[in-house]
Chains A and B, each alone.
Chain A
């Protein structure tokens, strides 16, 4: 499933909880440490194999703003006195929560975790990609805390 070509593809797909898909540049999306981790093939998550990240806690309207921000950030990477990005005020808090989720720094040492079915010991850093790969989002909270 996970061919070299798909690993290197320039674009990745982000899917919101209400099934909106956003195809964004990999470089832009990897601004988020969470997405970067999900898509890193060496971590062997399902997301990296499918080249698709699903967010069950982020709705389409919010994810749209987040994607917009990815490009906004990329565009202004090396500039000074950047104008603030505009977004609908009513989405402010939802975007904030999404930004926190996607941006949380995850330099936490990764322990050994269990999949739901067989509960074998898995080391996420060294584990090779196989068909039993589990989704990053399902273990996200365990990784963070």
Chain B
């Protein structure tokens, strides 16, 4: 304090006492000056009446005071008044010091053991090398803005150890927090994984994220502070709902954000945290919904279903995943009461209820059903498929059934419904055989999406026949993954190839290449290198965006290069387990995923290189 006042700015070590006194606005210089002034006054009065000074030998007056006092110690008792006033002053000072000491002690005592008094003193000496701080109630100049302000116990410390006024302190604290946040970054591993995950999700396909993506992410981050979403378009609401589900923050508190009376759809992809009251709220607030989607609806009960039937009379599209607390009788009631209007039913992960009889009830009561998906429903079997084949209006059907289903039942379904189907997805039907593929060839003339995977019975010849001179327009979506022979003793498969092999693949691309967007032939390991080269070399697939070639182990770098060249619209190429693919230079806007080089990221990702340049570089690398 004194240093600042004198303005020299130089400060060396000072005694604890000086520091303490300075902290309490007691200044040794000032005391000495006062003393000298008084001495002079006394001498002027003609009396050496500085007896008071003897009493004044206290902590504050240092050597100078002692010397001065020694000189004039003889004379005393004349100036009674002076002594009195000096004593008064001294008493006052002492009282003030005691008060402060006490206050300090009691403050410290709160934090630690009141017994260890010496500790206080230790702190005292340590602190003595620091800048002293004014006590609450005193004035200080703000370190940043230089304004004079009253010190309070809450005054913040500035960057150089001084104190800050209230507004500066606030902003400084804010900045400090921000800095700390920036410093405390997530561990590198997690950050890298996050980047990879974003790319695999297709969120960051080179360059910056989209503005709406940034906003949505920020909204989820601050989901607890959100009060309402306002008049957000329904499409955006769906997007937000997706992200809320992904981050697992869709709960009783956030759910109301997505409920507005005028909405026509309620989409909750993760309803695991919702309980009965939340469901009731959904149906109470949005009675006019036409589209309801609840995934992980593990607490969706019979009563909930009953209330839904009572409230929502306009329901057209129903997606319920994992609603295992709904009993068979309520499923039946759903179909009898709401079936007439239902156009879409998607059910997954049901194993406690929903059996063949329920499917039968659905078929009888839902004549307008156009879209049906049944997956992982443990209690349904062949007779359910037989029943489904009687649904007259069916256009999209996706089936996955745990138990054994004979090929005949499936063939029958295709024969009856095939003509009107535009989506046919048969997942993991191991017993599907050549007859089934033949039926698809004969009956289906409208398909745009065809999935037939996880099969090791149908032969390559059947696939070839399916796609040869097929009256169906080119497919947009083709998934024939895991159609291959499984025999550990003969990994190359029999001479007459089983599953989608070279000829079948050629026929598929010949038939659908012009319109194909999504191609999945993972694990079709009997497709030879020659077939890949035939298909991708000097051909053109203008719409193809996604290709999965994982574990097609005949593929090499040339094929990948040809794919880059022949598919101008390609976004993702998945190639796990293709060990002959090496040193690929990936063009911009394409993500190559899974090419094995352990030290690299899982995904290789093009930055600012056009296809031509990438190919040139690859060729150069190969030659060297």
Point out residues on A near B: beta carbons under 8 Å. Answer: 66, 69, 72-73, 76-82, 84-85, 87, 89, 92-93, 95-97, 99-100, 103
Contact = CB atoms under 8 A, between A and B. Distances in A.
Contacts, number: 70
B100 interface: no
Contacts of B225: 89
A100 B229 CA distance: 14
A121 to B, nearest CB: 29
B607 A87 contact: no
Interface residues of B, number: 28
A79 B207 contact: yes
Interface in B214-235: 214-219, 222, 225, 229-233, 235
Interface string B604-618: 010110000000000
Contacts of B236: 96-97, 100
B204 A69 contact: no
A87 B208 contact: no
Contact of A97 (B206, B207, B217, B233): B233
Nearest to B235: A100
Given A79-B607, A96-B219, 11 more contacts: A66-B211, A78-B607, A79-B207, A81-B195, A85-B208, A89-B218, A93-B229, A93-B232, A97-B230, A103-B210, A103-B211
B219 to A, nearest CB: 5
Given A66-B211, A96-B232, A97-B232, A80 B605 contact: yes
14 contacts: A77-B208, A82-B208, A84-B209, A85-B208, A87-B214, A89-B225, A92-B222, A96-B219, A97-B232, A97-B233, A99-B210, A99-B215, A100-B212, A100-B235
B285 to A, nearest CB: 20
A124 to B, nearest CB: 23
A39 B398 CA distance: 45
Interface string B527-571: 000000000000000000000000000000000000000000000
A6 B232 CA distance: 36
Nearest to B225: A89
Contact of A92 (B208, B218, B235, B608): B218
B432 to A, nearest CB: 38
B588 interface: yes
B227 to A, nearest CB: 10
A92 B215 contact: yes
Complex A-B, nearest 9 residue pairs according to Cβ-Cβ distance, in ascending order: A78-B608, A96-B215, A99-B211, A99-B212, A76-B208, A82-B208, A92-B218, A73-B208, A69-B211
Interface in B153-186: none
Given A92-B222, A96-B232, A97-B232, A77 B207 contact: yes
A29 to B, nearest CB: 13
Nearest to A96: B215
A99 B214 CA distance: 10
Nearest to A95: B215
